């Protein structure tokens, strides 16, 4: 139990501060290059760990490559990129809260594409959680006008959508070790994002030291170590334990944003977070399935 608590705390801190690091990183590095570098570092770390554990990549003609390359693109590259673009102007805490609504999007998609019927409990959770998202798009006086930064926040909603889509699509993926699936996804994400980055133009100068620190923190921390610890929690305690852990990263992100980045403390954001977490709690299934696909932050 002490080991599990320690791992859970590390995961919460890694995932919660990932948005803080993205918020700092985009000040020094263009979003797509930030995505590329964190994916490259994460791929190297996870591949080394997997090989040390005795896992090997499948042959290139294995159908798992096509499936997990696709999942790497829609489950890592696109959401990482959209979050980085959005966080050029959106606070890290707000970003984490929006992405925290991913589970309520998943239950709607699962109803149509994964043969998981939408119960009244799930629907109620979706409505409650969606209301929490709406609050983030309203000004502090809660008038019906949209906030000035609504387009950037909508990009982050898009990232949450792709996370949810990947969760549902992964249920149809060929059966394989979660660590092998993670390897393929990260390697393909690194290649895809690097091609996109080079196509966007090579920067004239190297980033400042702070930019490199953020790349290191994101690549080694949330993208690399985060996946390894994620899989350890699923293996030792099952997805239900992970579901409980997922409630806390947005809280850490809000605190880190205010404390480290000097972001404004917004009661509207706290209210939205509470409502979204309530919606996720209401909608959660009574029993979680054992098989869980990696969902890096």
211, 29 contact by CB (below 8 A): yes
221, 35 contact by CB (below 8 A): no
What angle do the packed helices 78-86 and 150-169 form, to 10 degrees?
160
- The neighbour count for residue 104, using CB atoms within 10 Å, is 25
Question: Residue 170: how many CA atoms within 13 Å on its side-chain side?
Answer: 25
Where residue 290 falls among pLDDT bands split at 50, 70, 90? very low
| pLDDT surpassing 60 at residue 291 | no
Q: Write the DSSP symbol of residue 170.
A: G
Helices and strands of the chain, counted as H and E runs: 14, 0
For position 264, what pLDDT does the model report? 83
| pLDDT surpassing 80 at residue 135 | yes
| Residues 128, 135: Cα–Cα separation, whole Å | 11
CA-nearest of 179, 1, 158 to 82 is 158
For position 39, what pLDDT does the model report? 96
CB-based contacts of 180: which residues, under 8 Å, 6+ apart? 50, 55, 56, 57, 58, 64
For position 34, what pLDDT does the model report? 97
* Dihedral (CA of 130, 256, 6, 47) sign: positive
| pLDDT surpassing 80 at residue 148 | no
* Dihedral (CA of 52, 55, 61, 67) sign: negative
Percent of all residues in the chain with a pLDDT value above 90, rounded to a whole number? 40
CA-nearest of 46, 88, 21 to 249 is 21
- In this structure, what token pair is assigned to residue 81? 């990129």
Mean pLDDT of 34-58: 94
Mean pLDDT of 74-87: 95
| Residues 261, 90: Cα–Cα separation, whole Å | 12
Q: Write the DSSP symbol of residue 139.
A: -
| pLDDT surpassing 90 at residue 262 | no
Q: Map residue 259 onto helix, strand or coil.
A: helix
């Amino acid at each position: 139990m002490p080991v599990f608590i320690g791992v859970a705390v590390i995961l919460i801190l890694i995932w919660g501060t990932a948005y803080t690091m993205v918020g700092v990183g985009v000040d020094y590095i263009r979003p797509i290059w930030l995505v590329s570098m964190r994916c490259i570092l994460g791929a190297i770390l996870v591949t080394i760990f997997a090989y040390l554990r005795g896992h090997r990549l499948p042959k290139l003609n294995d159908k798992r490559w096509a499936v997990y390359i696709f999942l790497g693109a829609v489950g890592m590259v696109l959401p990482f990129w959209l979050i980085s673009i959005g966080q050029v102007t959106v606070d890290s805490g707000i970003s984490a809260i929006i992405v925290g609504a991913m589970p309520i999007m998943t239950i709607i998609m699962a109803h149509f594409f994964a043969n998981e019927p939408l119960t009244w409990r799930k629907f109620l959770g979706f409505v409650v959680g969606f209301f929490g998202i709406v609050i983030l798009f309203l000004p502090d006086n809660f008038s019906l006008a949209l906030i000035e930064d609504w387009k950037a926040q909508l990009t982050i909603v898009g990232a949450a959508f792709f996370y949810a889509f990947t969760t549902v699509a992964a249920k149809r993926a060929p059966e394989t070790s979660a660590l092998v699936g993670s390897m393929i996804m990260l390697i393909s994400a690194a290649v895809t994002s690097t091609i996109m980055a080079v196509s966007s133009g090579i920067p004239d100068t190297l980033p400042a030291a702070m930019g490199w620190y953020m790349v290191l923190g994101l690549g080694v921390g949330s993208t690399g170590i985060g996946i390894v610890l994620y899989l350890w929690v699923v293996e030792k305690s099952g997805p239900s334990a992970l579901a409980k852990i997922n409630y806390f990263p947005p809280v850490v992100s809000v605190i880190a944003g205010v404390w480290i980045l000097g972001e404004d403390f917004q009661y509207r954001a706290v209210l939205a977070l509470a409502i979204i977490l309530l919606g996720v709690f209401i909608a959660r299934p009574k029993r979680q399935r054992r098989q869980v696909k990696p969902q890096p932050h």
